[in-house]
Structure 1
Amino acid sequence: MAVPSCLPSTFSSLAIPGASINNISAAVVTNYTASAPLFSKPNHGAIGPVQVDFCNVTVSHKHDGHDEAILTQVWLPIDTWNGRLQATGGGGFITGLGAEYVVQMDGAIAEGYAAAATNAGIYAVQSGGDDVASWALDDTGKINMHKLEDFVYRSLGDLSVIAKETIKLFYDEEAKYTYFSGCSKGGHQGYVLAQSFPDAFDGIAAAAPALFWDHMPQWYWKSQVMNTRKEYPWPCELDALRYGALEACDEIDGVKDGVLQDPDACNFDPSTLLGKSINCTEAGRSVNISELAVEAVRGEWTGKTPWDDLFESQTAGYDVDFQFGGTVCTNGTCAANPFPFTIWWQKVFVKKDPSFDLVNMTDEDYVAIVKQSVEEYENVIGSPDADFSAFNKAGGKLLTYQGMSDPAITYRNTRRFYESALQVDQSISDYYRLFEAPGVGHCAGGRGAYPHSTFDALVDWVENGKAPDTLDATSAPNEEGEVIKRTLCAYPKRSEYQGEGDPNDPASWICV
């Protein structure tokens, strides 16, 4: 394989349909230490560190009729290329290219892949959305719909074109296989790619996909209740209810390990702890578990909110091991502590006013925001259609794992989406499989066993036709240094302890 010079002129013939090139830069990077520690790169295990020489190509382009600068980076290993492309996704309001997600590209080139990512023309520095108004609103205070569409899908198609063509121009051959790997927003990107650009990638690892963005205001319901009542439970109350549920349900699966293999089997009633006195660090004294704390956790567990008769709920309910972020307290005073995404989505995308006062809005205001969000954005950033027939026809494979203790994305929504796809095509498991990971948090973390073998299983599926029925998974060590090892099963099956043998030996568990 003759490798040409890493110069901008090498890529001068690069063309993007419906767009023009602003600028191309290319520079050799030598002795770069590339690595991705365990749990830092979702879908993957620990990678590296290794020393890599690569050609760093940065392409700036704009769509016809728009004054913009969308950046795409492609890292091309010089002596260690494995003949494959791995594009990487982002999280929150970042699409993948940026300091916060450089470890995703690091891990790819460490294993010999050409790596690629895009910023979608959005120069966000806060994945939580604190600076989202800087790009989402135009000079007139309206939503910049073109940028939003770039963020959601258009830049993803460009990414695949740029990465593939750059590889061909540099190596004088096409990538043998092309992959995409992402989690959260990156998981949503994977689903969008499978739907909107079914020929873009051979294999997509899309963990914890952030579906139902148009329903994001519903995540705020608990804060709305608290703000309306001007009552804020202590965080210790919410934690006590979670611990109570775990204690009551932990051994339903036959093993006491702090992980619920089947959260749906836990029928713990939080009202049994109403009024219980608990030691509360935040308060500096003992407090009694309040009625509002019970109401909040019951709503999170069941997905039922006070407004279910006014709009279709998409919260679906969380595992009882859900890590509540319901309140935050400073100097003895507590306030609601909602996810930042739902704050900025409501302020910027729905109200078009970054200074809008969510804390003092009425219930009527809140219901109107929920409905308006769906009306305006369902067709822009709502969940992709559940029909993956075009992706299947293109020969693509889609692999998803979902943490069942994920505080941001409930496993029930991901499961529901998969079941919708199953209704469209009963043979969906031939090309799209879901693995639920008990006790795992958002993308990683939590006490549960993280499926570090996901991407390797995807590669084996794409290149060798071996569809994964199970995934190997390992947890982080607890305070005693104990690690949980499990075998995860393709949904709708789940892993069940056989009742004998070492619970930490995956052989003691079977898929049922």
Structure 2
Amino acid sequence: MLVLVTLAATTVGMGPASASSMTVPADSPARPVRQCADLVGQFHVPGAPTHVTSATVVPAAAEPAYCDVRGYVEPAVRFQLKLPTTYRGRYVQYGCGGFCGYITPTVFPECGPRFGDAAVAATDDGHPVPGFDTRWAVNNQAARDDFFFRAPHVTSKAAKQIIARYYGEPPRYSYFTGCSTGGREALLLAQRYPDEFDGIIAGAPAHNYQALLVYQAWLAKANIGADGAPVVTDAKLPVLHQAVLAACDGLDELVDGQVDPGACRFDPVSLLCPNGTDLPGCLTPPQVETARKLYTGPTTAGGERLYPGAQAYGSEPAWTGWLTPSAARGRPLAEQFADNYLKHMGYPIGTPHSSLARFELTRREFHRLTSEGLRPNAMSLDLGRFQRSGGKLIIWHGWADQAIPAAGTVDYYQRLIERFGTPRQTAEWARLFVIPSMYHCQAGSALTAFDPFRELVAWVENGTPPDRIIATGRDTQGNVVRTRPVFPYPLRARYGGTGSIDDERNFLPAPPPAPPRGTLRWVGEYLHHIPGPVVW
């Protein structure tokens, strides 16, 4: 959905890789068959009229030499495509973040021992306004649809035709990777355009876009008192987080600063200040009640769940700026996302819109968002064509994600399992990895980065499914201080009993403490069975 932060493109392909993933196509690299500048002009791409406005050679420096292609797909989908001088048949497209409006900075991924052997591209999703200002969407359905679902698709079509002209042949393998809004785009491509990419990475996907904006509205309202000020303040977040760690950190048999939210049973009342006081090391009664709500999630007045998730135990340090104001971003991010969506793009053009102040947390208001919400939603479970075409899907999410609760992604994956038969059958083409202690797309209290790109390449090109992917923790100076294996859901990493707890080699796969829960009942679960608009 909305979401806010995208996974930094600079991390793609940079994490530790297993020997099986160190693979590149065996044939010789392709060389350009025409000059970079010759790409300027019009490309007659069916359904995606494309204009290349500039094509400039960038000499080798921090990156290999490449042809920097800039242009747009009509009406206004701007893109950048980087074509390396040495090319081995791969195309990698990056997703966008937030409400987009900018072209994600791209890097050449390390697919193996060679560097820069893939063409890479990204798009602004069809409008030039970054940040929270969504007034561009008020009366422009074409701009909405470009952002909602069209831009990643037409960028792929345009890029592949430009690649074919430059190198004399189209890509042999195509990959898409994104987080947050980019994760939504990733699932959307697998669902609506199943033949477009061989391998897809969906990180922290904002796939239930409509419901996620309702969740942001609820977050904003849940932490605002009658005086208009935050109830749970930044000053109380360290207190709350330390109490969660004290109650739940050791439940996985290892005290390491990582919490399994599913196993945690923590009640903020344990932090209640005595005798009506408000001291630094405790919570007032309103703060206790608000924290309880945040950990429980949104419901209607009648108790119906409005979203399949809530703020996770262990995510508390990341609430700063998301649930509370910040000097850098002003109003809480949840408030800004919800308000701008409800005012400018959440309802069909020409119909009454809403705002955060007017929005009511009811089943009726949720359903009012469905008509337009079907366009950006990526909730469909019908991935049969993607599976049959040989596509491979890696979904990943941080357990401590403060912006998009990981529980919603787990719920989606459980529904995929139900749709495709068994966990084993689903894992043949789609796997979920959930990273302890990680916040939204990056950063965290213990693990801060996760990059499954090499493992996806190995799965697609070698048929080697990812049985473990290494997550990394770095300190404020960028030094690696922890590595941990992350195993396919629902497996967890269990310490073997010897060696450093910060070394991934000392951990083994283990079943979860309790069997995975089933799917959740909530007011929007019917959306999994309604396809969004498709432009084939």
Shorter-chain TM-score tier? 0.7 to 0.9
Change in CA separation of 1:270 and 1:57 when aligned onto 2, cut-off 3 Å: same
Task: Give 1:51-450 correspondences, 5 Å limit.
Answer: 52-62=64-74, 68-78=75-85, 80-94=86-100, 98=103, 101-104=104-107, 111-126=116-131, 129=132, 131-133=133-135, 135-138=136-139, 144-215=140-211, 216-227=213-224, 229-230=226-227, 232-233=230-231, 234-260=233-259, 262-275=260-273, 286=280, 289-303=283-297, 305=298, 307=300, 309=302, 312-322=305-315, 323-325=318-320, 326-328=323-325, 338-350=334-346, 361=357, 365=360, 367=362, 370-371=365-366, 374-426=369-421, 427-450=425-448
Amino acid at match of 1:17: P
3-state secondary structure, aligned to 1:154? helix
CA RMSD of aligned residues (A): 3.2
The CA distance in 2 between the partners of 1:448 and 1:494, in whole Å, is 16
Could you say if the C-alpha distance between residues 481 and 26 of structure 1 is closer, same or farther in structure 2, counting changes exceeding 3 Å? closer
The Cα of 1:93 is off from its aligned counterpart by 1.0
Taking the aligned partners of 1:499 and 1:490, their CA distance within structure 2 comes to 22
Letter paired with 1:255: L
| Contact 1:403-1:443 at 8 Å conserved across structures | yes
* 8 Å Cα contact 1:239/1:324 also seen in 2: no
Q: What corresponds to 2:58 in structure 1?
A: 29
Instruction: Describe the shift of the 1:22–1:486 C-alpha distance in structure 2 as closer, same or farther (beyond 3 A).
Output: closer
Q: Cα offset for 1:268?
A: 1.1
Alpha carbons 2:299, 2:305 under 8 Å: kept:
no
Distance 1:188 1:338, change over 3 A: closer
Structure 2 spans left out of the alignment, 5+ residues: 1-29, 511-536
Identify which range, 431-440 or 225-234, moves more after superposition.
225-234
Change (3 A) 1:107 1:69: farther
Equivalenced residue count is: 464
Structure 1 pair 4/300, CA: closer, same or farther in 2 (3 Å)? same
Q: 1:125 to 1:501 in 2, by over 3 A?
A: same
Give the Å deviation of 1:165: 1.1
Cα distance in 2 for residues equivalent to 1:27 and 1:312? 53
Look up the equivalent residue of 1:379 and give its one-letter code: L
Query: Counterparts of 2:149 and 2:418 in 1: how far apart (Å)?
Result: 25
C-alpha change, 1:287 and 1:278, in structure 2 (3 Å) is farther
Q: CA deviation at 1:55?
A: 1.1
Cα distance in 2 for residues equivalent to 1:275 and 1:267:
20
Amino acid at match of 1:156: P
Partner SS, residue 486 of structure 1: strand
Distance, in Å, in 2 between the alignment partners of 1:491 and 1:158 is: 33
- Asked if the contact 1:58–1:74 (Cα under 8 Å) also holds between the matched residues in 2, the reply is yes
CA contact (8 A) 2:300 2:363 kept: no
Aligned partners of 2:185 and 2:378 also within 8 Å: no
Distance 1:505 1:18, change over 3 A: closer
Does the 8 Å contact 2:342/2:354 carry over to 1? no
Deviation at 1:335, TM superposition (A): 8.1
Q: Using the alignment, how far apart are the partners of 2:463 and 2:184 within structure 1?
A: 25
Question: Relative to 1, partners in 2 of residues 1:478 and 1:243: Cα closer, same or farther, differing over 3 Å?
Answer: farther
CA distance in 2, matches of 1:311, 1:383: 22
Report if aligned partners of 2:401, 2:439 keep a CA contact under 8 Å in 1: yes
Measured against aligned partners, the alpha-carbon deviations of 1:20-68 in whole angstroms (never above 9, x if no partner) come to 345543221223423xxxxxxxxxxxxxxxxx21112223231xxxxx3
2:154, 2:326 → 1: CA distance? 45
2:489 is aligned with 1:483: no
The one-letter code matched in structure 1 to 2:337 is F
Deviations 1:289-330 (A, max 9, x none): 122222222222222x35252754115123211122433389
Match of 2:470 in 1: 472
2:47 touches 2:154 (CA, 8 Å); kept in 1? no
Alpha carbons of 1:85 and 1:510: their partners in 2 closer, same or farther (altered >3 Å)?
A: same
> Gapped runs of 5+ residues in structure 1?
35-51, 63-67, 139-143
Match of 1:40 in 2: none
Quote the residue 1:15 is aligned against. 44
The alpha carbon displacement at 1:69 in A equals 2.5
Distance in 2 (CA, whole Å) between partners of 1:227 and 1:378 is 26
Question: How far apart, in 2, do the equivalents of 1:451 and 1:91 lie?
Answer: 17
2:146 match: secondary structure: helix
Distance 1:397 1:242 in 2: 37
Aligned to 2:3: none
* Preserved contact between residue 57 and residue 73 of structure 1 (Cα < 8 Å): yes
Q: CA deviation at 1:72?
A: 2.3
| Cα pair distance change 1:337/1:382, threshold 3 Å | closer
Distance (Å, rounded) in 2 between the aligned partners of 1:137 and 1:103: 30
Larger strand proportion, structure 1 or 2? 1
